[in-house]
Structure 1
Amino acid sequence: MRSRPLSIAFIVRDPLPPRRADVLTLFGAEMPRHGVHTELVGQAGVDAPAPWSAGGMHVVGSLGSRFAAVCSPFWDLLGLLRAWRRTRPGCIQVRDKVASAVLAWLAARCLGLPFVYWMSFPIVEGYEVRRDALAGRGRNPLWLAHALRARISRLAIYRLVLPRADHVFVQSEAMRAWLAGQGVARLRMTAVPMGVDVDLFDRGAIAPSTDPRLDGRRVVLYLGSVAQSRRSDFLLEVVQLLRARAPEVLLVIAGDAPSPDEMAWMRREIAGRGLDKHVLLTGWLPQRAALGYAVRAEAGLSPIPRGPLFDVSSPTKLVEYLALGIPSVANDIPDQAQVIAQSGAGLCVPMQAQAFAEATLRLLADPALAARLGARGPGWVRAHRSYGILARKVAQAYGDICPPCGPIR
């Protein structure tokens, strides 16, 4: 435990109340056990207001507003002021925001507080990918707007925010190495990969789905969102190869898409390939229902496209499969390769349809191998990727960032 409690003002990009586990579980449930409380600041989403027992929640503005992109930095500054009035924070932290990070850094310096940046995604590179996608349609005003945003954001993050931050939390060791190559001091960075709530993902406490469409099928699972940017149609290429040698195979895609257009695209792809009898696209499900489908699976798939956006990521789905004891096939982005190598709970192959299909067929054809791999997952996750373990690492970092708050005991 911490000798004295610490309160941090935390500006987040995602809508409030939070739904992401690395905010909801890590900061909402685990960090208070180490004496670290959080004043969340951000904009409202579509969910109904919910209490935040780990500190306070200051919702200013709405992400549904047409002015959100312009107003959110000033809304965040107002929320930060409210957090300051409620409880004097020991530091100010910003997650994945650019203009808000600049204003928050200035506020931290005026108040004499440490400033922390939490990078869960290379947001600047994301802007540049969007800019380049629009370039193919000609240099129009929309392209120019995205090009300016990308350029200004790069200057703000890499010239101002990261070099002057007292500490930077990153998503993975690969992201830490990448930022070190851009001049950010390694000693000022802490890698916090995605984890799981091991109680929630306790297989023994999950009721298997009774969906009759799963009966008599060789169920393979993809747990996560559907998106063209994630090359979700790759899964369909794998299924086309699988059904030739395992006609009873059924891929369950337990997840939703970020927009109705993306979901419609996926349904068209399934129908166009004649895979309606081999792919079950559930759409959004309550988490317990999704996990009910998951524990019916014989193998879990985690293909993540290679490239600057995802090579530094830390995907949740692979760790979730391991926590549930599901033997997995994952491709070789750095974090997934490390998880497979350390846990021995799955097979790591390149993101090629033939390679994924062969690895999946190997698991389906060898139940003894699948059982050995699956049995290694839960213990490894409890020891390395539970949010209880990750919370202690984060709390120790705050002990160094905010030494007056006392050491971790």
Structure 2
Amino acid sequence: MPNASTASSILFIVRDPLPPVRADVLTLFGTEMPRYGVRSELVGQCDLPGAGAPWPAGAMHVIGSLQSRCAGVCAPLWDLLGLLRALRALPGRRPACIQVRDKIASGVLGRLAAAVLRVPFLYWMSFPIVEGFEVRRDELRRRRRGLRSRLLWAAHALRAAASRRVIYRLVLPGARHVFVQSDAMADWLAAKGFERARMTAVPMGVDADLFDRARIEPVHDARLDGRRVLIYLGRIAQARRSDFLLDVVDELRAGMPEVLLVIAGDAPSNDEMAWMRRQIAGRGLERHVLLTGWLDQRTALGYAVRAEVGLSPIPRGVLYDVSSPTKLVEYLALGIPSVANDIPDQQQVIERSGAGLCVPMQARPFADAVRALLADPALAAGFASRGPAWVRRHRTYAVLGRDVAAIYKTILTE
């Protein structure tokens, strides 16, 4: 791989809002890739009009806003304009490759542009977008009432059908390499006929410095004093079955009245947060659940290190079975014994790290696993000691960055 003075530039079209906040873009491409001479020209849309920030690993080319009503239709055009702007900024107006993340129409654009420029086309799949469209289509089918809802269902059905043909017949077959979220996703795509050797799994990781327990100050919150504290770090959503967490606490509170679940996270909308509050009140769990709402990362981690057990339930199904959840790896990095359910990536992490318990996503098995950890300090201490070391060896972005850079070295020098 070239050094920083002869850096390769990836022209990278992303689906997430710019500036990036996800660690697998912000940390992996903003911090780690430049260490190996891989810089990036990010192309995409902002979340709020006027949003912008410098990109230390290259440059950002922001055209359009995801808050626009026409964002879904205009995004490919905006990406074309961003691509042209990025090319004008590059020496020789030619990137080392063009990479598209989680976009379908812009995936076709990226493949065509790569062919014109005679550079490799790469695709980064962090989520099964088409299958997500199909889940939304099916939800609307069940709720069809009246002409407007039928037209909305028809629009989503058309989008899902067209997206399936485009991504699986035009975009992925033209990619020299496909980065995926997990080994399970790679196996899933291989079962569809795509060559496994052309795929690399890049699971979610952590920044070792941010998740160094010795550097984190526990929060001073009297509501946690004298309680058996459980932690859930993450977003709240009905689609994620976040009320399952309450089912677990309901199982625990009869024999453990001092149990307290801290849910350190926000919801995607006020309606979702109101739904969660109703679920807590409906079960009479106000004394046993602390719903913090949005917290800055340091404060959220300050709550986490006061917990005895971390919880990571992820619903089974096509959307989540191929995912790589961050929260379990975060708990392990912090030395928090954890209970997770058996989606493939989490099961693999638990088995390989020996730092937690893996059970089905059912309230009683989850509650039994929590009781086992709280009742056996030696078991919990063993898990706590193994987690950080395993994460440092396998799931920090420094480690993941080294592995991804090796793939780019192979691709960009072929």
TM-score by structure 2 length? 0.96
- Aligned match of 1:259: 269
- Aligned match of 2:67: 64
1:19 aligns with 2:29: no
1:8 aligns with 2:10: yes
Return the letter of the residue paired with 1:137. R
Return the letter of the residue paired with 2:115. R
Residue 108 (structure 1) shift: 1.0
The one of 103, 118, 123 aligned to 1:112: 118
The one of 9, 31, 44 aligned to 1:42: 44
What secondary structure sits across from 2:54 in the alignment? coil
Residue 137 (structure 1) shift: 2.1
- Aligned match of 1:80: 83
* Residues in 1 aligned to 2:85 and 2:351: alpha-carbon distance in whole angstroms: 46
Alignment of 1:160-239 (within 5 A): 160-239=170-249
* Residues in 2 aligned to 1:294 and 1:2: alpha-carbon distance in whole angstroms: 40
Return the letter of the residue paired with 1:203. R
**Identity over the aligned pairs, expressed in percent?**
72
The one of 12, 30, 33 aligned to 1:31: 33
Residue 82 (structure 1) shift: 1.1
The one of 248, 251, 256 aligned to 2:258: 248
State the Cα deviation string for residues 259-295 of structure 1 (Å, max 9, x = none).
1111110011001110011000111100000000000
Residue 50 (structure 1) shift: 1.7
State the Cα deviation string for residues 294-314 of structure 1 (Å, max 9, x = none).
000000000000000000000
CA RMSD of aligned residues (A): 1.0
- Aligned match of 1:269: 279
- Aligned match of 1:391: 401
Is the deviation greater in 190-199 or in 42-51? 42-51
- Aligned match of 1:100: 106
Residue 365 (structure 1) shift: 0.9
1:343 aligns with 2:345: no
* Residues in 2 aligned to 1:174 and 1:371: alpha-carbon distance in whole angstroms: 30
1:91 aligns with 2:97: yes
* Residues in 1 aligned to 2:168 and 2:2: alpha-carbon distance in whole angstroms: 33
What secondary structure sits across from 1:51 in the alignment? coil
Gaps of 5+ in 2: none
* Residues in 1 aligned to 2:2 and 2:280: alpha-carbon distance in whole angstroms: 53
Aligned pairs, number: 404
Residue 48 (structure 1) shift: 4.0
State the Cα deviation string for residues 321-368 of structure 1 (Å, max 9, x = none).
000000000000000000000000000000000000000011111111
Choose between structure 1 and 2 for higher RCO, CA contacts under 8 A separated by at least 6 residues. 1
Is the deviation greater in 132-141 or in 66-75? 132-141
Is the deviation greater in 56-65 or in 103-112? 103-112
* Residues in 2 aligned to 1:261 and 1:218: alpha-carbon distance in whole angstroms: 30
State the Cα deviation string for residues 205-250 of structure 1 (Å, max 9, x = none).
0000001111111100000000011000000000001111111000
Gaps of 5+ in 1: 405-409
- Aligned match of 1:127: 133
- Aligned match of 1:407: none
Residue 111 (structure 1) shift: 1.1
Residue 378 (structure 1) shift: 0.5
What secondary structure sits across from 1:341 in the alignment? helix
Return the letter of the residue paired with 1:303. P
State the Cα deviation string for residues 152-195 of structure 1 (Å, max 9, x = none).
00000011111111110000000000000101111110000000
* Residues in 2 aligned to 1:23 and 1:123: alpha-carbon distance in whole angstroms: 18
* Residues in 1 aligned to 2:231 and 2:120: alpha-carbon distance in whole angstroms: 43
1:374 aligns with 2:397: no
Return the letter of the residue paired with 1:57. M
* Residues in 2 aligned to 1:23 and 1:349: alpha-carbon distance in whole angstroms: 31
